[in-house]
Amino acid sequence: MITRRRNLLGMGAAMIVPSVGFGLQAGKADGQTSNTVRVRFAFAKSEITATLYDSPSARDFAAMLPLDLTIEDYSHNEKIVRLPRKLTEEGSGPFDNERPGDLCYFKPWGNLALFYGDYKWDGLIRLGRFDEGFDPLRIRGNFPIRIERV
């Protein structure tokens, strides 16, 4: 009887903890957990993909997809995409290890910040990282962009 209860409790825990119960492959990157949600950014006859971290803000962003918006040059190190609404800031906090290839959300303006150069700025939530480089972000200009789950 005790063995059966433990088995049932284990099955219940698997249902409560999706990464255990449903086989999501979670991994660590820069102190944040990434999951299997990958996103494609298609613009200027190029596309790049990113893997989102498992955070409330990243899940909120993924729930908005697909999106057809505009990607714009901003400063010398990033492109931005203005979202149709602000994302949740639940569970966000400061982070370090900022580096090119980060996909962030800028809380004050409510836009995505796609970094291809070094940066350090308050008010950001890191949503994920670009998978295989980010050279298309260096293409100067503003373009229509399609953002969707892969």
For 136, phi then psi, to 5°, come to -55, -25
For 120, phi then psi, to 5°, come to -160, 115
Single-letter amino acid code for the residue at 6: R
Listed in order, strand segments (DSSP E) in 3-142 are: 27-29, 32-43, 46-53, 67-74, 78-82, 102-106, 111-115, 124-130
Can you give the pLDDT at residue 26? 34
Domain boundaries, the chain: 24-149
Q: Which CATH architecture has domain 24-149?
A: Beta Barrel (2.40)
pTM to 2 decimal places: 0.76
Question: Which parts of 1-135 fold into alpha helices (H)?
Answer: 2-16, 18-21, 56-64
Can you give the pLDDT at residue 39? 98
Q: In a structure prediction context, what are the per-residue pLDDT tens digits for the chain, which is 150 residues long? A: 444 433 444 444 433 333 332 222 333 444 455 457 999 999 999 999 999 999 999 999 999 999 999 999 999 999 999 999 999 999 788 888 899 999 999 999 999 999 999 999 889 999 999 999 899 999 999 999 999 999
